């Protein structure tokens, strides 16, 4: 069986792997770890102001006035920033897999989209996943009503079952393999 663990670059995202890891290992489940980023949200690296010296007008030769530029300077293009963000995310996902999914056949994938829930659902279909597993921040109802919730949108759009791991859900104790009854029913 294969599942998609759709995670974001937060501790909540990594918590999903911590919760499902023992179950996946005990049941021979393959895990595709997916992170979907908004390419437009990726920003370049900024460097502090540059220092240089100039000769003030009317000053004698050899007189210099140190000048500090107080505007940050972009040191990479948007394309370079996206490439850097991609490599950083792949490394972060690999590290999380090594830490939380030992003994599990897992792969990491980074995709880009404006409609993150749609990409998660389409990816699960392409991979023939039995389920999508993801985290939630459990934001206040008003925030979700105004800005939406990725996990809620995935639940409504997904053609496969979705297991949502809350941030307060405890990881399985040593020797315990099932994070939730819902996961057991997938096997």
Which pLDDT value is given to residue 71?
56
- Stated as kind and residue range, the H or E segment containing 1 is none
Lowest mean pLDDT among 37-46, 68-77, 154-163: 68-77
Percentage of the chain with pLDDT > 70? Answer: 67
**What are the domain boundaries of the chain?**
2-42+76-184
Q: What's the topology of domain 2-42+76-184?
A: Rossmann fold (3.40.50)
Confidence at 41, pLDDT banded by 50, 70, 90: confident
154 pLDDT above the threshold of 50: yes
pLDDT tens for 73-99 read 556 777 888 888 889 999 999 999 999
Which pLDDT value is given to residue 185?
47
Mean pLDDT of all residues in the chain? 78
Confidence at 184, pLDDT banded by 50, 70, 90: very low
**Neighbouring residues of 57: CB distance < 8 A, sequence distance ≥ 6:** none
Could you tell me the pTM of the whole model?
A: 0.74
SS3 content of the chain, % helix, strand, coil (to 5): 40, 25, 40
Which pLDDT value is given to residue 108?
97
Residue pair 171/99 in contact (Cβ under 8 Å)? The answer is: no
Q: How many H helices and E strands in the chain? A: 6, 9
Which pLDDT value is given to residue 82?
84
**Neighbouring residues of 163: CB distance < 8 A, sequence distance ≥ 6:** 20, 131, 132, 133, 134, 180, 182, 183
Query: Six-digit token pair at 150?
Result: 């990725």
Residues 100, 15: Cα–Cα separation, whole Å: 9
**Neighbouring residues of 133: CB distance < 8 A, sequence distance ≥ 6:** 3, 4, 5, 6, 16, 20, 162, 163, 165, 183
Which pLDDT value is given to residue 183?
47
Q: Where does residue 150 rank: exposed (0-12), middle (13-18), buried (19+ CB within 10 A)?
A: middle
Which pLDDT value is given to residue 147?
47
């Amino acid at each position: 069986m294969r599942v998609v663990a759709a995670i974001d670059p937060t501790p909540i995202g990594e918590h999903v792997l911590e919760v499902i890891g023992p179950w996946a290992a005990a049941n021979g489940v393959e895990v595709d770890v997916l992170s979907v980023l908004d390419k437009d949200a990726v920003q370049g690296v900024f460097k502090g102001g540059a220092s240089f010296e100039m000769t003030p007008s009317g000053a004698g030769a050899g007189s210099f006035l140190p000048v500090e530029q107080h505007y940050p300077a972009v040191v990479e293009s948007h394309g370079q920033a996206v490439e850097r963000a991609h490599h950083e995310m792949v490394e972060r996902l690999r590290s999380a897999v090594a830490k939380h999914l030992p003994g599990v056949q897992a792969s990491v994938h980074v995709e880009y989209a404006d409609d993150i829930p749609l990409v998660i659902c389409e990816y699960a279909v392409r991979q023939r996943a039995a389920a999508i597993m993801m985290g939630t921040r459990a934001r206040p109802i008003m925030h979700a009503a105004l800005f939406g919730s990725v996990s809620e949108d995935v639940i409504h759009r997904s053609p496969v079952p979705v297991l949502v791991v809350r941030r307060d859900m405890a990881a399985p104790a040593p020797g315990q393999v099932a994070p939730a009854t819902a996961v057991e029913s997938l096997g």
